[in-house]
Amino acid sequence: MSVEAEYKLEMRADGATLSGVMRLVSPAAYRGALAAVHDQIDAATGPLELDLAGLQFLNSSGITALSRLVMQARERSVTMTVIIDEQVSWQKKTLPSLARLYPKLTLKGR
């Protein structure tokens, strides 16, 4: 499955790739946009990977939505790896805080 707008969400068997620019208006809008990722976490039987390296911009509502994904993974004990681009300043500054929410989350830089 693939969703495209200013952003692109590609689902894979072992996770998802999110790229582009996400400026949705509210956490509820992100909940809808990321519903497939939430469903994948619910159904996970192994580790998942969320590749955000191509995501150039994410507003505060989006960061809240990512935090909710991480908390959902924590509640279901799903091991998760988040791929980031350390050259994208918001990723380098903001995403390490996700690892504090869940010890089984690993950040991996590109």
Band (27; pLDDT cuts 50, 70, 90): confident
Among 75, 71, 77, CA closest to 100: 71
Q: With contact defined as beta carbons under 8 Å apart, do 81 and 105 qualify?
A: yes
CATH T-level assignment (fold) for domain 2-109: Transcription Regulator spoIIAA (3.30.750)
Mean pLDDT of the chain: 94
pTM of the model: 0.91
Among 27, 29, 69, 68, CA closest to 50: 69
Task: Look at residue 1 in the predicted model and tell me its pLDDT.
Answer: 53
Query: What type of residue is 87?
Result: Q
**Angle formed at CA 15 by CA 13 and CA 19, multiple of 5 degrees:** 125
Pick 110 or 109 by higher pLDDT: 109
Residue 16 has pLDDT above 80, yes or no: yes
- pLDDT, tens only, 55-105: 999 999 999 999 999 999 999 999 999 999 999 999 999 999 999 999 999
Would you kindly state where each structural domain of the chain is located, as residue ranges? 2-109
**What single-letter DSSP state applies at residue 9?**
E
Q: With contact defined as beta carbons under 8 Å apart, do 50 and 81 qualify?
A: yes
